[in-house]
Amino acid sequence: MKSTLQLFAILLAISFLSSCDDGKSISEIKLIPVKSGKDFQYIDQEGKIVINPQFSEATVFRNGLALIKNSGENPMWGFISEDGKVSIMANFKQATIFSEDLAWVVSENGAPTAIDIKGQVKITMQNAEFVRIFKDGLAAFSQIDSSGQKWGFIDKEGKVKINLQFLAVGNFSNGKCAVQNPEGKWGYIDKEGKILINYQFEGAKEFVNGKAVVVSGGKAGLIDEGGKYLINPQFSDMIIDNDMFLINQDGKWGWCDQDGKITINPQFNEAFPFVGNDLAAVQSGEKFGYIDKDGKIVINPQFDYAFPFNGKLALVSSANKYGFIDTDGKFAINPQFDDASSDMKAYMRNGSSVYENVNTEFFNIGAIVSRINVNKPEGLSIGDPLSKALTKFNKTENDINLYAGEFKMKDNEKITNDASLFLFVKCIPYSEVAAGWNIKRVYDANAKLTGFTYCINLFGKGIGKEKEIIEAIGKSLSGFKKDEVNSSEFSYIYTNEKLNVQIAKGTYYSIVVIINDELSKLNTELDNALNEYGD
């Protein structure tokens, strides 16, 4: 997927919140996605191949559909039914699993779109940067403005239910959601956006059965629906595990009860919740095994890695191969697979998925075009005094170099997540006065502005879009005529009775828009300006 690093950053940011199914029973997986060679296939609980190897990625089935990524030179995402037939064609650059009968998909250069199990479009989030799957009837989404990224929520009709206002959010569960305010503190809201538990925590997980894990003073504790502590903050980490709690203390994992009393001493390097099973996977020494709820080892540590039981089977790895054991620790399906689906691993751990988010592929050229005003750049005009520009941009005489002819007024202003803007004004900022036998330059506040330069830097999804943007800016210039003689593929010149504008691909900056009032001056300055800005 594109923007993998961005998406990974988002996943890290919400990782503390993502144990949305802590303590909940997880449905038994009937069709198991495993990898043999380079492709994923599906097997049944006896190890028999049900859907042949053919996918580069595959998930467990939800809402009767599995998210898959096809193989080939240009792999795309789609959905299959349990008989292995294509239900929704693999035409998407990104996609989420289905949740509450909807999945998010992103097409080439497209915005996040919610589809139903028939593949019909239900919602399009044209201006969203990220969206997450629906939980409790609401989906989190984010947008980016000049102040950064903000999160809100939409309902299944695509209507904004809770306005963009939060620095970060979790998912709704039990009618509540953890949200982070601009000061970095976490609290909880209801489905109308009303604050239920005030901002006070350093971290906050989702509510499960009326309880939620929070962090205060660097330690994890447990609160009820009123925000009252049931277990005071005292653990390095804490995970709700039905009526028990998996805890981390001094780097070791164990369990406590609802009063915070330790029932299984923290002694394991790694551990997974019981998630409704009688056995839990733990790491003792270098190997993984399984314990019962009294902390007694039932299946000796012998595996390189082990996951919670799902029904009668548990996924384990041994000698770089994956297989499945039964509750006696015997192999029900021998370790013969090169890998198991990362989605299935997440599902077995806590009922979650690694495919719960998508980010937009849409590059908003319109936002860049509308940001540039060649007639009144930032409300200024050619001929305005330099002092007016300095006042507007909170600059002073000290920001002016008397031996320069162009001055930066805006520096790296974010237009979109993939484009930023710089603005320069042109003028001769001094008057010459006699100083004995010499001529001295003196700052002149009334020096007239002679031109403007917008510079745009592109990154992320904007890379390679220079020509499209140059053409779009040109088409937006109402009342201007293109100078076909002096224009070239990546350098367009437009004129009207008052102004001359050149839009060019740059070198230091991605795109340069130069505004002057005389064509001869424009061409003269372009020879110099493109040495700094352009090709």
- The answer to whether 133 and 139 are in contact (CB under 8 A) is yes
**Beta strand ranges found along 217-356 (DSSP E):** 219-224, 229-235, 237-241, 244-249, 252-256, 262-268, 270-271, 280-284, 287-291, 297-303, 305-310, 313-318, 321-325, 331-337, 339-340
Q: Which residues pair with 407 in a beta bridge?
A: 425
pLDDT, residue 146, reads 63
Q: Which H, E and C letters describe 159-216, residue by residue?
A: CEEEEEEECEECCCECCEEEEECCCCCEEEECCCCCEEEEEEECEECCCECCEEEEEE
**Beta strand ranges found along 355-394 (DSSP E):** 357-359
Q: Give the integer Cα–Cα distance in Å for 169 and 381.
A: 44
> Which residue's entry shows tokens 């998996």?
246
In the structure encoding, which two tokens stand for residue 262, read together? 């330790």
In the structure encoding, which two tokens stand for residue 17, read together? 């919140």
In the structure encoding, which two tokens stand for residue 102, read together? 């909807």
In the structure encoding, which two tokens stand for residue 504, read together? 């060019």
Q: H/E element holding 420?
A: strand 419-427
> Which residue's entry shows tokens 């495993």?
34
For residue 376, give every residue at least 6 positions away whose Cβ sits within 8 Å of its Cβ, in sequence order, or none.
none
Q: Give the integer Cα–Cα distance in Å for 209 and 350.
A: 15
Q: Give the integer Cα–Cα distance in Å for 220 and 481.
A: 65
Nearest alpha-carbon partner for 209 in 220, 196, 223, 189: 223
pLDDT, residue 46, reads 97
pLDDT of the chain, 535 residues: tens digit per residue: 333 333 333 333 333 443 434 444 589 999 999 999 999 999 999 999 999 999 999 999 999 999 999 998 899 999 999 999 999 999 999 999 999 999 999 998 899 999 999 999 999 999 899 999 999 999 999 997 767 789 999 999 999 999 999 999 999 999 999 999 999 999 999 999 999 999 999 999 999 999 999 999 999 999 999 999 999 999 999 999 999 999 999 999 999 999 999 999 999 999 999 999 999 999 999 999 999 999 999 999 999 999 999 999 999 999 999 999 999 999 999 999 999 999 999 999 999 999 999 999 999 899 999 999 999 999 999 999 999 999 999 999 999 999 999 999 999 998 987 899 999 999 999 999 988 888 899 999 999 999 999 999 999 889 999 999 999 999 999 999 999 999 988 899 999 999 999 999 998 999 999 999 864 454 544 545 544 554 4
pLDDT, residue 13, reads 38
1 C-beta neighbours (distance < 10 Å), count: 16
- The answer to whether 109 and 363 are in contact (CB under 8 A) is yes
pLDDT, residue 36, reads 93
pLDDT, residue 204, reads 98
- Which structural domains are found in the chain, ordered by start? 4-359 (2.140.10), 365-532 (no CATH)
Q: Give the integer Cα–Cα distance in Å for 97 and 226.
A: 33
Nearest alpha-carbon partner for 10 in 117, 109, 149: 149
pLDDT, residue 72, reads 84
Q: Give the integer Cα–Cα distance in Å for 260 and 350.
A: 22
pLDDT, residue 14, reads 37
